[in-house]
Amino acid sequence: MAQQLEVVEVDLAHRVWPTLRAEAQQVASEEPSLASLLNAVILRHSALPAALSYQLARKLGDQELRAMSLREIAQEAYAADPTIVDNAEADLRAVFERDPACKGFVQPFLHFKGFQALQTHRVAHWLWRSGREAIAFYLQSRMSELFQVDIHPAAVIGSGAFFDHGTGIVIGETAVIGENVSMLHGVTLGGTGAERGDRHPKIGNGVLLGAGAKVLGNIKIGDFAKIASGSVVLMPVPSGCTAAGVPARLFNCPTCSEPARTMDHTLAAEIS
């Protein structure tokens, strides 16, 4: 796979689609048993929206809502709001840049459920904003069943998001997530009771949320903050700080400059 990695690194300054196709062609030649899959999902399409809609439909389709209908819904969303595809491209880059186990773009596009759940949500969110709540909830349910990721379709998620592993992520209705955020498995962005209205966290840009972190209530997590694995956060966290513990306390302010990109989970001295 060394040649594949080299191709990706050279092309990161350009659009994802040509690199994704080149990788797919290489993998198909190296592993003929996957050639049919790669051709159906990637190689026979002319652009990223067509391939992505096919992949989501292939994953999400069932007896109640057939794959063809799901593909038409995704294509409708992409045509109405091209930023959905731009965000998907940024998400795909984020996986490659932040996950040391990722060997290129084909791997997350075909196999990583965190990426696929996020793209399902982006379509569901467009449906929600378009007043089509019933079908948006249907996609939320299918996402939860297939990927073990549960995101309310009203939740707002910025571009360049990275859901590492994905399993057990729960994001509530009024949650807002900024740009270039990374979160690991088991993260919850939830409420603190049965009240209605604006009740979920607001996550700033460049935030890193460690495995199993619980951020609860309508609180602000500032830009480039870090939430340590297993923490329970009930109070706001200032920009550039780390919160750790149960309940969480503040550590090393400022923390590293871009924790979501470096995926740096380390702690320094506690604030007295």
State the virtual CA torsion across 173, 74, 169, 17 in degrees, nearest 10: -130
Are 114 and 184 in contact by the 8 Å Cβ rule? The answer is no
Largest Cα–Cα distance in the chain? 60
Hey, what are 24's tokens?
């797919």
Question: Which residue's structure tokens are 């391939």?
Answer: 51
Mean pLDDT of 231-249: 95
Overall average pLDDT of the 65-91 stretch:
96
For residue 31, pLDDT over 60 is answered with yes
Mean pLDDT over all residues of the chain?
91
Q: What are phi and psi of 270, to 5 degrees?
A: -75, 145
What pLDDT is recorded for position 192? 87
Amino acid at 134: A
pLDDT tens-digit readout, 178-227: 999 999 999 999 998 778 889 999 999 999 999 999 999 999 999 999 99
Q: Is the pLDDT of residue 13 over 70?
A: no
Task: Between 261 and 26, name the one with better pLDDT.
Answer: 26
